[in-house]
């Protein structure tokens, strides 16, 4: 316990530390663990249900596809808050930090309440739009109404996590995710295999344990914020309402989240394509996504850690340091993620077998393993592009260059992922393999383009703090003019 306390409180509350000179590893390893745990929080539901009911597995996979898309509405502000906070702290300007914190949390809370109502009332319509098979509808509907109905908890928790990361306190998210996973797994066991199995809740019970774990995680986040973060969240910072801050966050956040929104919309189409291919393709996609996501965890963690450093460096005006830092991260991330993807492919007969060992799926197991191996082989090439996108696109956004990644993402995703996936997978009859080839082409093309943009340095001079300084100077000059 003393070691954990030391990790959390390694710096005083009123000192964000010299983030620029902090090693990527020190910031990245808690993010790595948090990303792993966050991924497991969702996948624990799938894994534990795989031995309970295979139909429920597909139902939750479809429900999470929609929920993942809807959560992007509140990442518009939370992602922007990470950039703005990091740049303001890097520039040493802390006068507006509490206002930024308050606007982010309150705006996302109100927006996510509306989304929660939409999910609860429109769950049937949303599942029909995704062409969810009839046998999966009941489980998918119940899961969506419980998890989606309380999605505002996830929204605020995500915002708090961004605030912690921007302050260099990445260990907070790791501790919270660990606690949430323990609670979620325990709850799943009680509902699926333990004393509460007699209730017959199945997917609904899994949804209850997932939601309860998020409630506990949010309570812990507010405690960490109050004790360790220099700043406050209070209604008093909304009087008068800081329109300039919300305007800045929206101007930065909408393009920043645009690339992710485009990606998730394209994935909804992909899921619709896969749902027409049958249960083997549906469940293979779910299991292959689970396994392939482990390949990019390292890249994701170092990309997010590098983003924190880039934000602080750009805020301080040190563009050359940011350029070198990203290049160094790219070299290691490409090597490690490719190695993990290769290992993932080699071990796929064993790992895929873990999901298909139930007696109920005995007849489908060999088909899923065979198809999954082909998909994971393509995933090796996909990782080269995805790693470049994770590191460079996030660094571009951290520097204030937010529009180009959005435009590029929209063009590449819809031309490669959606159009290419439909042509190769459905028209040409290659099925899930053809769809995965299209996904890999999308990631690789975008990876090459953003690497060229980073090298050319187009992102330099786009700091939010510099723009704010210029606007403040203009306003002050106008106020100083004598009245006519």
pLDDT digits (tens, 9 = 90+) for 52-68: 666 777 777 778 778 87
Determine the straight-line distance between the first and last CA of the chain, rounded to whole angstroms.
68
Confidence of residue 2 (pLDDT cuts 50, 70, 90): very low
pLDDT of residue 416: 93
Neighbour count for residue 370 (Cβ, 10 Å): 13
Report the pLDDT value the prediction gives residue 16, as an integer from 0 to 100. 45
- pLDDT at site 224: 95
- Is residue 215 pLDDT above 90, yes or no? yes
Over residues 279-327, the pLDDT tens digits come to 888 888 888 888 887 777 888 899 999 999 999 999 888 999 999 999 9
State residue 216's pLDDT score: 96
Q: Tell me the C-alpha distance between 238 and 254, whole Å.
A: 21
Report the range of poorest mean pLDDT among 199-208, 363-372, 465-474. Answer: 465-474
pLDDT of residue 17: 45
Whether pLDDT at 417 is above 60: yes
pLDDT in the model for residue 227? 93
Let me know if residue 479 belongs to a domain: no
Q: How many CB atoms within 10 Å of residue 317?
A: 15
Distance CA 462, CA 156 (A): 28
Q: What is the pLDDT of residues 427-453, one digit of tens each?
A: 999 999 999 999 999 999 999 999 999
What mean pLDDT, rounded, does the chain reach?
84
pLDDT of residue 418: 94
Q: For residue 7, is it within any domain?
A: no
For 118, 128, 278, the CA distances from 133, given in Å and listed in that order, are 22, 9, 9
Mean pLDDT for 464-483 is: 49
Percent of residues, the chain, with pLDDT higher than 70: 89
Do 449 and 458 form a contact (C-beta atoms < 8 A)? no
pLDDT at site 359: 35
In a domain, 14, yes or no: no
Residue 425 lies in a domain: yes
Residues of the chain with pLDDT > 90: what percent? 38
Of 295, 482, 283, 467, the C-alpha closest to 379 is 295
Token pair belonging to 39? 């991924």
The three-state (H, E, C) secondary structure of the chain, written as one string = CHHHHHHHCCCCCCCCCCHHHCCHHHHHHHHHHHHHHHHHHHHHHHHHHHCCCHHHHHHHHHHHHHHHHHCHHHHHHHHHHHHHHHHHHHCCCCCCHHHHHHHHHHHHHHHHHHHHHHHHHCHHHHHHHCCCCHHHHHHHHHHHHHHHHCHHHHHHHHHHHHHHHHCCCHHHHHHHHHHHHHHHHHHHHHHHCCHHHHHCCCHHHHHHHHHHHHHHHHHHHHHHHHHHCCCCCCHHHHCCCCHHHHHHHHHHHHHHHHHHHHHHHHHHHHHHHHHCCCHHHHHHHHHHHHHHHHHHHHHHHHHHHHHHHHHHHHHCCCHHHHHHHHHHHHHHHHHHHHHHHHHHHHCHHHHHHHHCCCHHHCCCHHHHHHHHHHHHHHHHHHHHHHHHHHHHHHHHHHHCCCHHHHHHHHHHHHHHHHHHHHHHHHHCCCHHHHHHHHHHHHHHHHHHHHHHHHHHCCCCCCCHHHHHHHHHHHHHHHHHCCCC
Q: Look at residue 482 and tell me whether its pLDDT is greater than 80.
A: no
CA distance 458 to 442: 22
Number of domains in the chain: 1
pTM check: above 0.85: no
Q: Give the domain extent around 188.
A: 19-466
Band of pLDDT at residue 476, cut at 50, 70 and 90: very low
Is residue 100 situated within a structural domain?
A: yes
Tokens of 100: 């930024």
Q: Is 103 part of any domain?
A: yes
The pLDDT of residue 12 is: 46
Flag whether pLDDT at 173 surpasses 70. Answer: yes
**Greater pLDDT, 25 or 59:** 25
pLDDT band at 477 (very low <50, low <70, confident <90, very high): very low
Q: Which of 22-31, 136-145, 321-330, 432-441 has the lowest mean pLDDT?
A: 136-145
| Domain assignment present for 3 | no
pLDDT tens sequence across 337-364: 899 899 989 998 888 888 776 534 456 7
Q: Is 414 exposed, middle or buried (0-12, 13-18, 19+ CB in 10 A)?
A: middle
Does the structure show a pLDDT above 70 at 89? yes
The confidence score (pLDDT) of residue 358 equals: 56
Both structure tokens of 308:
């924190």
Q: Burial of 25 by CB count in 10 Å (0-12 exposed, 13-18 middle, 19+ buried)?
A: exposed
Mean pLDDT over 14-31 rounds to 78
Which residues lie closer than 8 Å to 313 by C-beta, 6 or more apart?
Answer: 20, 90, 319, 321, 322, 325
Domain assignment present for residue 483? The answer is no
């Amino acid at each position: 316990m003393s070691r954990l306390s030391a990790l959390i409180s390694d710096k005083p509350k009123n000192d964000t530390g010299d983030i620029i000179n902090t090693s990527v590893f020190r910031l990245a390893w808690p993010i790595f663990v948090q990303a792993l745990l966050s991924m497991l929080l969702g996948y624990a539901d799938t894994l534990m249900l795989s031995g309970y009911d295979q139909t429920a597995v597909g139902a939750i996979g479809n429900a999470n596809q929609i929920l993942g898309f809807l959560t992007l509405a509140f990442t518009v502000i939370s992602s922007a808050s990470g950039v703005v906070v990091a740049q303001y702290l890097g520039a040493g300007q802390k006068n507006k930090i509490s206002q930024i914190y308050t606007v982010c949390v309150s705006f996302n809370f109100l927006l996510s309440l509306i989304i929660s109502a939409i999910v609860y009332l429109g769950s049937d319509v949303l599942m029909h739009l995704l062409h969810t098979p009839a046998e999966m509808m009941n489980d998918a509907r119940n899961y969506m109404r419980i998890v989606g109905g309380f999605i505002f908890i996830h929204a605020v928790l995500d915002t708090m996590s961004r605030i912690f990361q921007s302050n260099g306190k990445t260990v907070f998210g790791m501790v919270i995710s660990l606690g949430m996973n323990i609670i979620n797994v325990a709850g799943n066991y009680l509902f699926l295999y333990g004393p509460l199995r007699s209730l017959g809740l199945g997917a609904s019970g899994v949804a209850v344990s997932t939601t309860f774990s998020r409630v506990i995680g949010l309570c812990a986040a507010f405690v960490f914020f109050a004790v360790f973060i220099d700043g406050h969240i209070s209604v008093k910072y909304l009087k008068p309402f800081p329109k300039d801050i919300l305007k800045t966050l929206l101007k930065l956040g909408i393009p920043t989240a645009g690339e992710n929104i485009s990606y998730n919309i394209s994935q909804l189409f992909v899921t619709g394509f896969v749902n027409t291919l049958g249960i083997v393709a549906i469940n293979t996609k779910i299991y292959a996504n689970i396994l392939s996501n482990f390949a990019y965890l390292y890249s994701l963690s170092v990309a997010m850690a590098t983003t924190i450093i880039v934000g602080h460096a750009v805020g301080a005006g040190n563009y050359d340091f940011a350029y070198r830092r990203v290049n160094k991260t790219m070299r290691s991330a490409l090597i490690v993620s490719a190695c993990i993807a290769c290992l993932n492919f080699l071990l796929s007969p064993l790992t895929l077998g873990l999901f298909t060992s139930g007696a109920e799926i005995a007849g489908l197991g060999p088909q899923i393993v065979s198809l999954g191996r082909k998909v994971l082989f393509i995933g090796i090439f996909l990782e080269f592009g995805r790693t470049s996108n994770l590191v460079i696109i996030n660094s571009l956004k951290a520097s204030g260059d937010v529009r180009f990644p959005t435009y590029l993402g929209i063009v590449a995703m819809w031309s490669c992922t959606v159009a290419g996936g439909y042509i190769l997978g459905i028209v040409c009859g290659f099925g899930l393999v053809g769809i995965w080839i299209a996904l890999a082409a999308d990631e690789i093309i975008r990876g090459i383009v953003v690497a060229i943009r980073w090298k050319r340095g187009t992102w330099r001079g786009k700091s939010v703090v510099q723009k704010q300084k210029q606007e403040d100077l203009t306003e002050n000059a106008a106020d100083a003019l004598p009245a006519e």
